[in-house]
Structure 1
């Protein structure tokens, strides 16, 4: 067996001398299955993560029973919805706005609760064969860990239960469940086995807890403090989200704990390119650093542009690219606890800012779309992404960016309808008058006729009164943060305007 002192958890299926199989018995006892007599069934394997302790003894972390499957025979549909990060941030922003606490619960043996629609047979697990019926197999009534359809079966089971108890599923977010009362509302957001919930009436939260305990084995985790890697601090003044613990783990992982802090993640002007003649660096290291940074953007919009820019060079990273990535880490070293603040005294009006650079990518000359969406002046959604096609003018680049921003605005508007918040004429601020004119007027001339049809849908929503495009001077364009590197003064001004705070200050 491979030593695991300095490595990650490994998974084994072999039987080692001295392995305690009591965890397996407990796992099997949780499985609801019926003996169906003789039938052909797939084999089961015991599957356990293990660590080597300092005394060289094997430590079993858990024990799972898994089954191999064939598509079309053992399963058909496997998709199970999970909550988008924007939906989680919107949920928390609404909780802060309405001044109620958010709680968390965890369902035990979650996948074993999912009811199967397919007929699935499995062989008896090794070391647990019934001596009286050695050739018999099990028919699964409920899902098993490792089944392809287990997440979907659990979601279907839970959603059916909630709907039967008077909850309503979100119109576009199928992981959001609501129960509305004359003067109050109960909100439930699910992410597989993790459930967060809150209500304008605390007694409704207590009733929901009792309801879930009556149906499932679960543990109540109290007020929400940690969810999907986000550290969440709730107070009487609002809700603060950050990933400070994760930042420290990243710095330690990549041996950058003693690096010199920087005041911005990337310095202007933009000089990063393919660097064909540069010295190559470790691809695995570079991609690992980029992946860690991308995960951090869940609460750190301030590094969104620089991280996405560096991510474009993962195929053949050079020293110049690695230096740029390390600068982001050096910036994080100085601002590990920076995060998003949702105050209870802010409004809940939706506004958006749309921006684009022009031919900023030095490889293919494509432009970068930047956008941010705020509720009551507090950031809930943002984007920084290279456009799919080359723009021939700044007006075209800005118009394409406005169309992408409009799509996200409409998603947020529809999501807010579930919260009983009806919005129209939502303002989108753009710093290009030509792009605004194209969106407001059904003109077609030589400079715009080649723009893809899908970007023109913004005109329909302008005409219908769903959105309004407004001009904003460049110095007040908040989406600048997502399209270009900025100097220290402007960078700090923008992150402050977007509602980012450092609790250490």
Structure 2
């Protein structure tokens, strides 16, 4: 499957969406305003509780206008079909990846997306969310060397297994005092595993 793949960033993502509800804020320090006055927000700003859902609804509406259908199992992924040609779109906040089954469809969808959003396009896809992507023909190789090195040097350098996992008896019923350091290590390893190291996912879920 030799698809065209390109990544993009949404410029000033949240500011491209008008708020659907009334929200007032206190004037920031240094802002000249009359006493006992508040400011009405017209645009979604980073830090608001409503901002993520507001932005997601905005994207869903825009994508539906150009016939992208949301994935039922993953609301950050959209699909597009035009006869025998297909496309997939993935987006998380302001980072996105677009894949199309041919160059003509890719150019067409890029132009239509550009009409709806202010986008900055990359020529291909080298990295996404800290995951390095290397393409060789129809194959993609994913790696996270920076995160792997950080986890090993900062959190796992003093760990040495005394027994194989299968020889260790784990008792159910966690202690009242949660070991936050242990959970932190497991959390980082789970994040690393779901992107690349699927072979250790079972063991990590077992330990979690």
Deviation at 1:216, TM superposition (A): 2.8
Task: Name the residue aligned to 2:75.
Answer: 174
Task: Name the residue aligned to 1:105.
Answer: 8
Counterpart mapping for 1:6-21 below 5 A: none
Alpha-carbon distance between aligned partners in 2 of 1:164 and 1:253, rounded to the nearest angstrom: 47
The answer as to 2:55 corresponding to 1:154 is yes
The answer as to 2:25 corresponding to 1:128 is no
Deviation at 1:194, TM superposition (A): 1.4
Task: Name the residue aligned to 1:11.
Answer: none
Deviation at 1:300, TM superposition (A): 0.9
Task: Work out whether residues 115 and 142 of structure 1, in 8 Å CA contact, stay in contact via their aligned partners in 2.
Answer: yes
The answer as to 2:197 corresponding to 1:294 is no
Task: Name the residue aligned to 1:117.
Answer: 20
**Residue 141 to residue 246, structure 1, CA distance change in 2 (3 Å):** same
Number of aligned positions between the proteins: 200
Counterpart mapping for 1:16-415 below 5 A: 98-130=1-33, 133-254=34-155, 256=157, 267=164, 270-274=166-170, 283-298=179-194, 299-311=196-208
Task: Work out whether residues 124 and 138 of structure 1, in 8 Å CA contact, stay in contact via their aligned partners in 2.
Answer: yes
What do the CA deviations read for 1:386-425 (whole angstroms, capped 9, x no partner)? xxxxxxxxxxxxxxxxxxxxxxxxxxxxxxxxxxxxxxxx
Q: Give the structure, 1 or 2, with the largest relative contact order (CA under 8 Å, sep 6 or more).
A: 2
**Residue 214 to residue 136, structure 1, CA distance change in 2 (3 Å):** farther
**Residue 304 to residue 174, structure 1, CA distance change in 2 (3 Å):** closer
Alpha-carbon distance between aligned partners in 2 of 1:250 and 1:180, rounded to the nearest angstrom: 41
What do the CA deviations read for 1:368-397 (whole angstroms, capped 9, x no partner)? xxxxxxxxxxxxxxxxxxxxxxxxxxxxxx
Alpha-carbon distance between aligned partners in 2 of 1:309 and 1:188, rounded to the nearest angstrom: 33
What do the CA deviations read for 1:410-455 (whole angstroms, capped 9, x no partner)? xxxxxxxxxxxxxxxxxxxxxxxxxxxxxxxxxxxxxxxxxxxxxx
Listed as ranges, the gaps of 5+ residues in structure 1 are: 1-97, 276-281, 312-505
Alpha-carbon distance between aligned partners in 1 of 2:77 and 2:186, rounded to the nearest angstrom: 31
TM-score (norm 2): 0.81
Task: Name the residue aligned to 1:356.
Answer: none
In terms of Rg, which structure is larger? Answer: 1
Runs of 4+ in 1 over 4 A off after TM superposition: none
Alpha-carbon distance between aligned partners in 1 of 2:38 and 2:110, rounded to the nearest angstrom: 38
Task: Work out whether residues 114 and 150 of structure 1, in 8 Å CA contact, stay in contact via their aligned partners in 2.
Answer: no
**Residue 274 to residue 186, structure 1, CA distance change in 2 (3 Å):** closer
What do the CA deviations read for 1:138-177 (whole angstroms, capped 9, x no partner)? 2222212111110111111111112112323334433322
**Residue 134 to residue 208, structure 1, CA distance change in 2 (3 Å):** farther
What do the CA deviations read for 1:23-55 (whole angstroms, capped 9, x no partner)? xxxxxxxxxxxxxxxxxxxxxxxxxxxxxxxxx
Task: Work out whether residues 115 and 154 of structure 1, in 8 Å CA contact, stay in contact via their aligned partners in 2.
Answer: no
Task: Name the residue aligned to 1:61.
Answer: none
Alpha-carbon distance between aligned partners in 1 of 2:19 and 2:142, rounded to the nearest angstrom: 38
RMSD value, Cα:
2.8
Deviation at 1:248, TM superposition (A): 1.4
TM-score (norm 1): 0.36
